[in-house]
Structure formats: structure tokens, C-alpha cells
Amino acid sequence: MAKVEYAHTESAKWRACWTALKLPYTGLRAMGLNPQTAIGLLAVGTTAGTGAIVNETLLSEASFSRGDPGIYSAPLDTPVFAAAEFNTLRLDLGATSVGLVEIDSISLGTSYTGSTLPSGETNVIIIGGLPAVVDPAFTETYLEVGTMYVDRWRCETLAITNSEIHRLVVKGNASDGQSISAVAGVPRDRGINGGNRADDMLTSGGYYDQLKITSASSGVNGKVDVLKLTNLYSKGGGCVIDRVKAGTMEVTLNEVGGDSDLSTKAFTIATSVIYKSFVNESNVEVAMGVPAVQ
């Protein structure tokens, strides 16, 4: 009888699984699945001929390199937290330095059908350290970077604040109003070493409600030698770079704006940003509406 009951239970599980595979994308999203899982199920439903694909696609662990949402603690490729209803891509950097973190060609926030920001959040992209005000027991952190590329982002607003950058390059950006007010100083040049450091972390493509790359451990600065963030398309909130100490930061070819009002200054670099060398070239103000839903 025990074997019969087990077989019946497993049969019910697989019957529910294959029923889910036949649902359209919107139905799967309505069930609370994130876009990556829903698309993965649809792919399995249309191509699976044996149990091998189900085993490898449905039952495998989430992975940063595959683009699965979750909370990742560098240098681990598998998340410390992941759930079907959790669609944030979050990377926590700490004392273990990473040679290269590269994320490209992703859609964020409300830029795709059926998407929302996490409850209580107003920013779609958050990069940098964390302030002490997060928690009275929390000591302020910074994200230390050798070279950081902010390239081809689409944001409603982009703000860079509380950062020290040896060489700041701001070039070829179009924004719905801009205020670039960085202040000259003497931030040191830097690269991130660390000997036998963590493997590179790379991912390309995907749909997320939010992207966070932070130094989340109290008093511990995150360290990455090259942080390359390219072709990020966002809607529904702001893009923020805060508390970064960089050897070089290149902010190039981004489009920032969403209210068609040049007086509101969608793109800002605050006076709390200190540089040693500054290239400010070919940045133009252009009235633009909100990003389209993809």
C-alpha cells in the first residue's frame, strides 16, 4: 500500500507539472512565476521529448551565469536565496574580490508586460555601498572598483552620488535635463587585486523587477576589478550609483529621461562626487518620454 500511495502522489505531481507546461506565458506569470521560469517552462513544453530536459531545466539549481533571479553572494554562482515569486537580480560583494562582473542586455522594472517593482522600492537599478542609516548597527560601506562601465543604459533618472573616482569619463549621453556638478579632488587611482580571487561572474539577457549590486555586510567594502554593465533597459523608477570608489568610471552613451521637461534634470552627478581627472564631452539635453514597454 505504501508503494501504491507513493506512485499515486508522484503521478499527481507530474500531472500538475505537465498541465503547467501547457499554460501560456501570461497564465504562468499569473501563478507568480518569474519571467525566466515561465519562459523556461514554455521551452520545455514545446521541446521536451524525454525526461532529461525536464530534469536539467526544471529541477536544476538556479545560477547567476544562466541569468536566474535571486540573491547571490560573490563568488558563488548559486543563490543564497531564490523563489519563483522573487524576481530581483541581487549580487552582494564583500571581502572576496572578483576579477570581472559583467551584466548585459537585460530589461528591468516595469519595462516588460506584467512586471512590477518590489514592494516599497522606487529605484530599478541600485549600484554601490550602503549608508549607515540602513540600520543603527550597520557601518557604512563602499563598492571598490578598478574600472566601472555604465554603458547604454535607458533610465527615467540616473543619479551618481557620494563617490570618489580617479578618472571620470562622461561622454555621449542624452538626457531629459542634466546637472553635472562633480568636484575636483585627489581620489587615488586603484585596481583590485586579491591573489587567488573569485571566478568571473557573467550573465546576459533576462527580465527582472530590479538589479542590485551592493556591499551588504556591515563595515566590509565590496571589491571588483572590472564592473561592466551594458545595455540595461529600465522603466518605473530611478537608476542610482552611490558610494563607489573607482579607479575609472566611464558613463557613456546612456539615454536618461521620461517627463519631457528639461528643467527637472533627469541625469545628475552630485557635488558629493569627487574626481582627479574628468572628461565631460558630447552630452546633450533632449526632451524624451517614458521608456516603452517591451
Per-residue confidence (pLDDT) for residue 38, from 0 to 100: 64
- Are residues 51 and 105 located together in one domain of the fold? no
Q: How many domains does one find in the chain?
A: 2
Domain ranges, residue 22: 1-60
Average pLDDT over residues 135-140: 88
Per-residue confidence (pLDDT) for residue 198, from 0 to 100: 72
Of 60, 92, 109, the last residue of a domain is 60
**Residue 292 domain-assigned (yes or no):** no
pLDDT (tens digit per residue) in 70-89: 999 988 899 999 998 899 99
* Helix (H) / strand (E) containing 180: strand 178-180
Average pLDDT over residues 219-227: 95
Cβ distance 239 to 158 under 8 Å?
yes
Average pLDDT over residues 32-55: 52
- Are residues 115 and 249 located together in one domain of the fold? yes
- Are residues 40 and 141 located together in one domain of the fold? no
Q: What is the average pLDDT value for the chain, to the nearest integer?
A: 85
* Helix (H) / strand (E) containing 7: helix 2-21
Average pLDDT over residues 157-176: 98
Determine what percent of the chain falls in helix, strand and coil, rounding each to the nearest 5: 20, 40, 45
